[in-house]
Chain A
């Protein structure tokens, strides 16, 4: 007999014990969240504030654009056109002149951000094959507003021309005016519809990558990780036990955001919720793996927070197509966006919610996300094991 201790049964080897350990870690994690309500506040309040902010204040569709008008024609048709602008709801007319003036001064004084100039003989030329063009100028200091204002103006002028022709009994087949753009899926161009999916993408990244890394690093910092590593618990149990509470929380939150947006902003949900839930899990796995990876690098919670913000949150907001369309980015940046998982997830969630897309439509982003999840998870678990040494 070499040892004074008889080991008849090894505690901790049974499956039941493993389950007990897992639930113990999860339970403890929920206690931490409960004890430090700041975490809870961040994950619950922030997305709601963001949604309200984007839903009301930061509308990407533009209303009440201040407009100054130079009506040199002063005909019935020109007045009709001006009324059309007024009635569209997008413009707020600050001034109407009939003579000549410098648009530059108007922009400088801030009196208006757009100027509509109706040429002499506009009304008469409408009955001709090619009517005289109206001029529309915008102050592109605020480029987003400017672009959208110009788009609306085009629509209004086109509509007005067509309507005039209709009233004159002239056919639609007239030259040059065959274009009629049709906007599908989000006909009102409501930006809330785009914001909500983006918000879910960012939210998952935040709850999983950021909070996961912080919670693991906190245990490193307090030394408790070492304490529990000297128990029968294994690395897998620690990771799953610590991460699962955040998966549950962020899933609940995701559902909350989607349901809230459907009711409050009337965001449509065309596709199948089950599919969205399943695909979201793949994305969550990506986010979690990033979180674990960060936790292996960071020694303090502050560092973890910084890395998580810079490497996961910011790209998810800036480079995913959430706020800035990828197609209008320079080519090198477009390449970088391919490394942002939120990019693929946005295609998936927008597709399912707004278009009713199904799995067969979403193969490409799904495969991309799957590869991401697999690679990052493998690397991060390996690193995590190594970092414990």
Chain B
């Protein structure tokens, strides 16, 4: 099988703001046509990494390449083939949908018939056509997001970098948005690097990088990451289980107990013995009407595990 070319390559990227080490040596490679998700909390360094790759800020150490071009020497060429959508809505709220699109078309020198056909295509997928004359500031959150994406796509970039594009957007728009991203990479072969605070969005990526405190903790496909989770998850369902949480924490083999509404999620090293022990303890403590079953771990379990083991060491 032929090796797919690497579109984004970062080697040992470091960036420091005063005392804050925003990037502490990031190595990353995203191959052509891949959807790569950067997952991590605020302050993990996702935005800094993205801003370095887009040439908006300069790294202190390390190098990077975009489409095989050196990030330091060819940044202007890189910018012309890159599509970027920042975290904050960054279009002109006082300009209409059409005026915003046209402005970005001009910036990337997309003109004439080419512009027309691309505008049509973008309006088609974003369904913003009826709002052509509406001011961008008056669009709903989901529509703003789609307009921002349309502006980032006006020059049909080969590589698309998005910084938390769906934060605060309603789930319907969020799903639509990811559908568009999926089409872009699967059908058009666009390489996508996207950051998100939502764990569930990570599963929509080919590969995921967990980021925290300026480091990439793990990089793999979501399935592999979940399979790499070293513990089993037992879920107890019932009403008002929270008070019994402490009773379960002391069972030998239990790593952690986490209350989740009507559930208690228990991470353990062994299963069968623990399932029995949980039943015993709960009954002993006076709980009734609960159900115990083993469930598949979530990506979030893996991330929590990585964070905790990182904190211990």
Taking Cβ atoms with an 8 Å cutoff, the residues of A that contact B are 1-5, 7, 10-14, 16-17, 20-21, 23-24, 27-28, 31-32, 35-36, 222-224, 226-234, 388-389
Contact partner of B93 among A5, A17, A222, CB < 8 A? A222
- Which residues of B1-28 have CB atoms within 8 Å of chain A's CB atoms? 4-7
By beta carbon, the residue of chain B nearest A228 is B107
Flag whether B55 is at the interface (Cβ < 8 A). Answer: yes
Knowing A10-B80, A21-B107, say if A35 contacts B94 (CB, 8 Å): yes
Contact assessment for A230 and B55 in the assembled complex, using a CB-CB cutoff below 8 Å: yes
Knowing A5-B7, A223-B89, A227-B91, say if A28 contacts B99 (CB, 8 Å): yes
Which residues from B are CB-within-8-Å of A10? 77, 80
By beta carbon, the residue of chain A nearest B154 is A231
Q: Can you list 22 A-B pairs with a CB-CB distance of less than 8 A?
A: A4-B31, A4-B158, A4-B191, A5-B68, A5-B81, A11-B81, A28-B103, A32-B92, A32-B94, A35-B135, A36-B94, A222-B90, A223-B86, A224-B91, A227-B90, A230-B55, A230-B56, A231-B79, A231-B107, A231-B108, A234-B76, A389-B58
- Which residues of B31-71 have CB atoms within 8 Å of chain A's CB atoms? 31-33, 54-58, 65, 67-69
A-B CB contacts (within 8 Å), total count:
121
Taking Cβ atoms with an 8 Å cutoff, the residues of B that contact A are 4-7, 31-33, 54-58, 65, 67-69, 76-77, 79-82, 84, 86, 88-95, 99, 102-104, 106-109, 111, 135, 151, 155, 158-159, 189, 191
By beta carbon, the residue of chain B nearest A17 is B109
New A-B pairs, 11, CB < 8 Å, besides A5-B159, A17-B109, A222-B88: A1-B5, A3-B69, A7-B69, A12-B76, A12-B108, A20-B106, A28-B92, A32-B95, A35-B135, A230-B55, A232-B109
Contact assessment for B33 and A21 in the assembled complex, using a CB-CB cutoff below 8 Å: no
CA distance A221 to B269 in the complex (A): 51
CA distance A20 to B58 in the complex (A): 28
Knowing A3-B68, A10-B77, say if A230 contacts B82 (CB, 8 Å): yes
Q: How far in angstroms is the closest Cβ of chain A from B22? A: 13
CA distance A13 to B108 in the complex (A): 10
Which residues from B are CB-within-8-Å of A389? 57-58
Contact assessment for B95 and A31 in the assembled complex, using a CB-CB cutoff below 8 Å: yes
Contact partner of B104 among A27, A223, A231, CB < 8 A? A231
CA distance A12 to B77 in the complex (A): 8
Contact assessment for A7 and B77 in the assembled complex, using a CB-CB cutoff below 8 Å: yes
Which residues from A are CB-within-8-Å of B93? 222
Which residues from B are CB-within-8-Å of A228? 107
CA distance A7 to B67 in the complex (A): 9
Which residues from A are CB-within-8-Å of B86? 223, 226-227
